Structure 1
């Protein structure tokens, strides 16, 4: 099942247009599996469940810390608590992690990018 996401205009930025069935769409571009999403780029993320995530899973996010204030964490179909070590890995770099289900992360990401906020998203495919 592919779910459509309301698309706001953010010129030159990656915006999620739909997700589901293990894929994410950005207009005509499709990415299979979990992703790390930045306004200018999308990367495959080697994570299939929350249990696959370690502080090292956020290394690409930390590399771009000067461009990010908020990391939206799409945790799949349901929200679960974020381990303190994930927050501790990001906090020294000025990044706040906000967990939510993947659908909410897609919608929130689009809104924040359209507002020119310094946001990235790490999303488990659903």
Structure 2
């Protein structure tokens, strides 16, 4: 980063705006000229820190921020870690009722797909579990 340029920081676990995922791995992500250790939600409002260790621990409450922005989300990409996983049935129904399409895949694939869809101007969000 050039000298004298302000450093962008994640404030209160949130960076406003839509940002592509520049890198993932080593337990976190790079986006918006910054890095974050841990999982993230990439929503229309911005990128949020997300307390998620893996799909086996997903609960409806963990996706409350996604539902709060459902009017601006057509598709939610869920990066479940190193491997693909199955979303619990209760979550599938919750997203169906909210009219949000969900695609679950490995985190790397989800981050790459999110970037493509974001670049196309699609109404996409991502819930990405950090991987080492």
Q: Which of the five TM-score ranges fits, normalised by the shorter chain?
A: 0.7 to 0.9
Task: Output the aligned Cα RMSD.
Answer: 1.2
Q: TM-score, normalised by structure 1?
A: 0.86
1:117 maps to 122
Q: Distance in 1 between matches of 2:88 and 2:57?
A: 13
Q: TM-score, normalised by structure 2?
A: 0.83
Does structure 1 residue 90 correspond to structure 2 residue 116? no
Other structure's SS at 2:52 match: coil
Q: Distance in 2 between matches of 1:63 and 1:30?
A: 25
Other structure's SS at 2:29 match: strand
Moved over 4 A (4+): none
The alpha-carbon deviation at position 27 of structure 1 amounts to: 4.2
1:49 maps to 54
2:10 maps to none
* Structure 1, gaps ≥5 residues long: 1-11
* Structure 2, gaps ≥5 residues long: 1-16
- Is residue 44–residue 73 contact of structure 2 (8 Å, CA) maintained in 1? no
Does structure 1 residue 105 correspond to structure 2 residue 98? no
Whose Rg is larger?
2
**Candidates 82, 102, 114, aligned match of 1:77:** 82
Q: Distance in 2 between matches of 1:40 and 1:85?
A: 25
1:21-59, Cα deviation, whole Å (9 max, x unpaired) = 011001421111011012441101111121221111110
Other structure's SS at 1:109 match: helix
Other structure's SS at 1:79 match: coil
**Number of equivalent positions:** 115
**Candidates 57, 65, 71, aligned match of 1:66:** 71
